[in-house]
Chain A
Amino acid sequence: MAWSKSRQSCIRNDDQQVKAETNMAVAKLKNRIGMAGRLTTQRLAYSLGVLFVLLIIVGILSIATGSEHVGFSTVVRVIAAKIAGRVADVSQEHSLIISDIRLPRVLMAIVVGAALAVAGSAYQALLRNPLADPGILGISSGAALGAITATIFAEAVPISRPVAAFAGAVLTIAVVYALGQGRRGSGTERLILAGVITNASLSSIVIFLVTSASGARQRNVLSWLIGDLSGESRLLAPVALFVIVGIGAVYIYARSLNLMMIGEEEALALGVETRRVKVAVYLAASLLTGAAVAVSGAIGFVGLIIPHSVRLVGGSDNRLVIPASALVGGAFLMLADTIARTVVAPRELNIGVITSLVGAPVFVYLLRRTN
């Protein structure tokens, strides 16, 4: 007994040791990349600069990778030529693969990843819960239902899908919010629960609609539903516009959100127009979710893991978390899509499978930690 006891205390010490070492390592990392201390304009610019370079590198890497391998320099030359409005001196085939197939897809991954990550960070701040995410709250399902309804009734109108997805997202957050409202304001656990329930019922309606569809169409819709970046490149421009507007709208209220993360009433007493912030940010986050879901289906967990990782390294100030999440979310989704394209080549895996495989354990980890 005595032995096992001492062993136990040894194990506990080991744990503490590991924890202390991890903390030290994180602190060192923060110092190295200039993320320690209070957020200032310089620190923000520096951090975003570093992340932007990372985004570009991952982008070039993603374009270079695929069934037909293209050299790094070729990618750079083709894109540089495209920006300058010239034709690069590389083979016709490579030029075509890069600019017509892989570049739009990579750009779409950036747009969708940024949208989902920022939507996640916005919901987390509003609901004062680091576990909030468009998928977990059922908002992605609402958007998916909207998008599918649009596909069934108004397939000919190309913009109808993102608009209907946005409407679906807004309606869903309204329902979830109303359900989550207790007698004494909204408990965040209650809200998450309301989201889970809403998600379940919306998903069943979605599945019903999908199973009623026929043959090839069913397979397409199903594949889109799990999360798929392969189609819809014609929607890139309008969706990118939606996403830029949405991120901008959330960013305006970044400082207000910092206060609302601590408490709504206290934020009000400190001068935040909480009602306006709530309406604007809920709408903007729903716009982001709707836009992302309309083109790529319900890609889960991006809104959860990206803001969390950003906070872990860069702190919780939303003036950094929001733009940094956009950049990291874009890079993450490009990477996930590259894996999805290549890991079972020549076939493609749905990108939603990859993000869920990474995201679910992170969710469990977060859940255990926030207890």
Chain B
Amino acid sequence: MLEAHNLEFSYTKPVLKGVSFSVAQGELFALLGPNGSGKSTLIKIIVGILRATRGNVSIDGRDLASIARRDLAKLVGYVAQESTMRFPLTAMELVLQGRFAQGRLIGFESSRDISEAEWAMRLTETLEYAARPVTELSGGERQRVMLARALAVRPKLLVLDEPVANLDIAHQVKMLELIKRLSVEEGIAAVVVTHELNLAAEFASKVLLLRNGEVIECGTPGDVLTEQALRNVFETDLLVDNSPVSGAPRVTLIARRSSGEDAKRF
């Protein structure tokens, strides 16, 4: 479904240095790595916001560079890290924006557009506040509305930049359950950038560890999320065992206490 081959990208310094990976249909693919490792740059190349300096990406067997902007927009649903909400568009209006590439430049949404938007809002459980202005929604509700907008595209590939960053733990789990379900039931390939190692271990079918623009490891969570690999990539002390519930890798942080004084205070 998605294939990246030897991607390189640089602003002034090189950000990506020969990144290759592939994501199959129905897979939930997690991109992990420390801040500044090039995760966001990588997904911006995939959705066509940035252009790779070298290497190529293909989606659905077609070279990204040869796909017209509108056609690419019909294939890929993208949710950015944060969106500014300063204008009180209603949730429904926002979700309908996902239908832009299917419609004309001028004119209004068709009944098909509306039914697709309603489908997306039903899935994300946002239909009940379809008429509410997005400026009045909570962080979690807003995040789900943004996901609904990406789903209204009816994408084959879903790309999410830190979809759970601003959510509480219950919403985090719900969000990833939904993405997982979408990838399995709708056959969507989902690429998710996240800092939540445990959630990635629990939900992703494949994970990729990125450090300084280089792929360190790529494979199933069980194979990749090892103590050694994670210590190496994140340069911090941690412990990996298995979740007593699912058996997936479980990451525990080891906090460093500088002295006994500190320990006493806590």
Contacts and interface: CB of A to CB of B under 8 A. Distances in A.
B70 interface: yes
A21 interface: no
A259 B97 contact: yes
A262 B149 CA distance: 12
B47 interface: yes
Interface in B80-136: 80, 83-90, 92-94, 96-98, 100-101, 103, 105-109, 114, 131
A303 to B, nearest CB: 15
B83 A255 contact: no
A269 B97 contact: no
Contact of A271 (B85, B96, B100, B106): B100
A87 B131 CA distance: 53
Contacts of B105: 252-253, 255-256
B89 A258 contact: yes
B73 A38 contact: no
B218 to A, nearest CB: 24
A269 B94 contact: no
Nearest to A317: B93
Interface in A216-275: 251-256, 258-259, 261-263, 265-266, 268-273
B86 A269 contact: no
Interface in A144-178: none
A319 B83 CA distance: 21
Contacts of A94: none
Interface string A188-220: 100000000000000000000000000000000
Nearest to A125: B87
B49 interface: yes
Contacts of B86: 128-130, 261, 370
B131 A270 contact: no
Contacts of B69: 268, 271, 273
B121 to A, nearest CB: 13
A77 interface: no
Contacts of A41: 108
14 contacts: A39-B93, A252-B105, A255-B100, A256-B100, A261-B89, A263-B84, A265-B49, A266-B83, A269-B47, A270-B73, A270-B97, A315-B89, A316-B87, A319-B108
Interface of A: 37-41, 125, 128-130, 188, 251-256, 258-259, 261-263, 265-266, 268-273, 311, 315-317, 319, 370
